Amino acid sequence: MVDLLPQKVPPDKTVVTINGEPISLEEFDNEFRLMQIHYSAVTEGDMRAIKRRLFDQVVNRRLLIQEARNTGVQMTQSEMEETYREALKDVPDDFWTILKTRGVSRDAWKRKWIQEKLARKVVDIEVNSRVQITPREVEDYYWAHLPNYWRPRAVRVRHLIVQKKTDLQKVLAGLKSGEDFPMMIATFSVGPEKSQGGDGGFIDTDRLSSQYLKALSGLKPGEISKPVKDDFGYHLFQLIEWRSRQMRPFAEVRDQIHEDLLKEEQDHRFDQWMADLKKKSTIKVNKDLAPFIGVNLEDLREE
């Protein structure tokens, strides 16, 4: 089991103290080394910005861990084990070798993951769960932003693409002799929609080239276009249907609007809540070690 209690750190190895709890230079180094796995090629200026962002993340996470302790929010053993399993889902097979190469222990990596999970849990309980969006707010937003919900004109086709002219000639000969267009697609097409019979669903017309639109113009449902050649190969289109520009009904977008408004309000409340936590906290940076973690004390004073 990973211990989430504050660790003892000698004063000369303490980078920052948050409400009396020290964070060591080693912890920042571990965070930095883990970060370098994802940011291996950046400029010196970018690296300074990344280090500063890393400092803010570590400080914020410690404040959240403290708040969890103050409010009695804990991680159960099963939650810790699940967090560990989730974290391992997306790592490469040689991840432990990468960690070892970076000089980061498994326990340090696990500690970071579990801290982040506990931090998210306390935010969910203390902030997110207290935010509610009413049906009236959702509907009011829809009518106030109606222009956002126009669905553009679109077309649905079966699409066949071949790269060799000889294959195109075989397709045209097959169609002339009465072969089914979806069968021609299954036999000859190299397009990504092949497994769906060439049907990729509705495509907004503003995403189609003028060349494709010209080939489709005048077609009736079921009719097949003349061949179109471009850099990708030879194309044939069978029109299924056109869809005119239309307003998306409220019922169709209601859930998405609710989700967007909820996320926006939760982010706003979190920023306020986090700012209040910082105001109530005492954060002291070791001026001798600040340069090693990319922190400019003058910038901190301005905040």
The one-digit pLDDT tens for each residue of the chain (303 residues) are 445 667 788 888 999 999 999 999 888 888 888 877 766 656 666 777 788 888 889 999 999 999 999 999 998 888 888 888 888 887 888 888 888 888 888 888 888 888 999 999 999 999 999 999 999 999 999 999 999 999 999 999 999 999 999 999 999 999 999 999 999 999 999 999 999 999 999 999 999 999 999 999 989 999 999 999 999 999 999 999 999 999 999 999 999 999 999 999 999 999 999 999 999 999 999 888 888 777 765 555 545
Environment class of 85 (CB within 10 Å of its CB; exposed 0-12, middle 13-18, buried 19+)? exposed
Render pLDDT for 279-301 as a digit per residue (tens, 0 to 9). Answer: 999 999 988 888 877 776 555 55
Q: Element (H or E) spanning 199, and its range?
A: strand 199-204
- CA-based Rg of the chain, rounded to a whole angstrom? 29
Residue 251 has, within 13 A of its CA and on its CB side, a CA count of 0
Q: Using CA atoms, how far apart are residues 39 and 32, in angstroms rounded to an integer? A: 10
Give the distance from CA 67 to its chain's centroid: 27
What residue ranges of the chain are covered by domains with CATH 3.10.50.40? 154-244
The CATH topology of domain 11-132+258-302 is Triger factor/SurA peptide-binding fold (1.10.4030)
Torsion sign (Cα): 217, 222, 227, 230: positive
- In angstroms, the CA 287 to CA 118 distance is 30
Q: How far apart are CA 250 and CA 252, in angstroms?
A: 5
Query: CB-based contacts of 181: which residues, under 8 Å, 6+ apart?
Result: 158, 160, 175, 198, 224, 236, 238
Is 154-244 assigned to CATH 3.40.50.300?
no
